[in-house]
Amino acid sequence: MSSIDYNEKIPNNVNLAEDRGLRRALEHWQPNYLGWWSEMGPEGSRDFDVYLRTAISVDPKGWAQFDYVRMPDYRWGIFLNPGQEDRRIHFGDHKGEPAWQEVPGEYRANLRRIIVTQGDTEPASVEQQRHLGLTCPSLYDLRNLFQVNVEEGRHLWAMVYLLHKYFGRDGREEGEALLERRSGEEDNPRILQAFNERTPDWLAFFMFTYFTDRDGKFQLCALAESAFDPLARTTRFMLTEEAHHMFVGESGVSRVIQRTCQVMRELGTDDPERVRSAGAIDLPTIQRYINFHFSVTIDLFGADESSNAATFYSTGLKGRFGEGKRNDDHVLKDDSYRVLVERDGNLSEKEVPMLNALNEVLRDDFIADSVGGVNRWNKVIEKAGFDYRLIVPHKAFNRKIGSLAGARVSPDGHVISGDEWDRRMAGWLPSPGDREFVASLMGRVVAPGKFAGWIAPPAMGVNRLPVDFEYVRFN
Q: Which residues contact 2 (CB under 8 A, 6 or more apart)?
A: 13, 57, 58, 59, 82
Question: What is the number of structural domains in the chain?
Answer: 1
264-271 long-range contacts, Cβ below 8 Å, gap at least 24?
264/384, 264/386, 265/384, 265/385, 270/386, 270/388
Q: Has residue 180 been placed in a domain?
A: yes
Give CA–CA dist 100/162, Å, rounded. 13
Parent domain of 44: 16-473
Give CA–CA dist 236/2, Å, rounded. 13
Q: Measuring CA to CA, how many Å separate 407 from each of 131, 300, 366, 417, 418?
A: 34, 17, 21, 9, 9
Q: Has residue 3 been placed in a domain?
A: no
pLDDT of residue 63: 87
Q: Measuring CA to CA, how many Å separate 179 from each of 114, 159, 232, 307?
A: 17, 12, 24, 30
Q: Measuring CA to CA, how many Å separate 355 from each of 94, 96, 113, 292, 317?
A: 15, 19, 19, 29, 13
pLDDT of residue 59: 81
Q: Has residue 8 been placed in a domain?
A: no
Q: Has residue 10 been placed in a domain?
A: no
pLDDT of residue 1: 43
pLDDT of residue 255: 98
Answer yes or no: are the C-beta atoms of 319 and 91 closer than 8 Å: yes
Q: Has residue 9 been placed in a domain?
A: no
Pick from 300, 312, 273: nearest CA to 433: 273
Q: Has residue 6 been placed in a domain?
A: no
The tens place of each residue's pLDDT in the chain, 475 residues long, gives 457 888 899 999 999 999 999 999 999 999 999 999 999 999 999 899 999 999 988 887 778 999 999 999 999 999 999 999 999 999 999 999 999 999 999 999 999 999 999 999 999 999 999 999 999 999 999 999 999 999 999 999 999 999 999 999 999 999 999 999 999 999 999 999 999 998 999 999 999 999 999 999 999 999 999 999 999 999 999 999 999 999 999 999 999 999 999 999 999 999 999 999 999 999 999 999 999 999 999 999 999 999 999 999 999 999 999 999 999 999 999 999 999 999 888 999 999 999 999 999 999 999 999 999 999 999 999 999 999 999 999 999 999 999 999 899 999 999 999 999 999 999 999 999 999 999 999 999 999 999 999 999 999 999 999 999 999 999 8
93-100 long-range contacts, Cβ below 8 Å, gap at least 24?
93/314, 93/315, 93/316, 93/331, 94/227, 94/315, 94/316, 95/316, 95/330, 95/331, 97/227, 99/227, 99/228, 99/229, 99/232, 100/227, 100/228, 100/229, 100/316
Q: Has residue 4 been placed in a domain?
A: no
What CATH number is attached to the domain comprising 137? 1.10.620.20
Answer yes or no: are the C-beta atoms of 75 and 11 closer than 8 Å: yes
Give me the helix-helix angle, 108-128 and 229-267, nearest 10°. Answer: 30
Q: Has residue 354 been placed in a domain?
A: yes
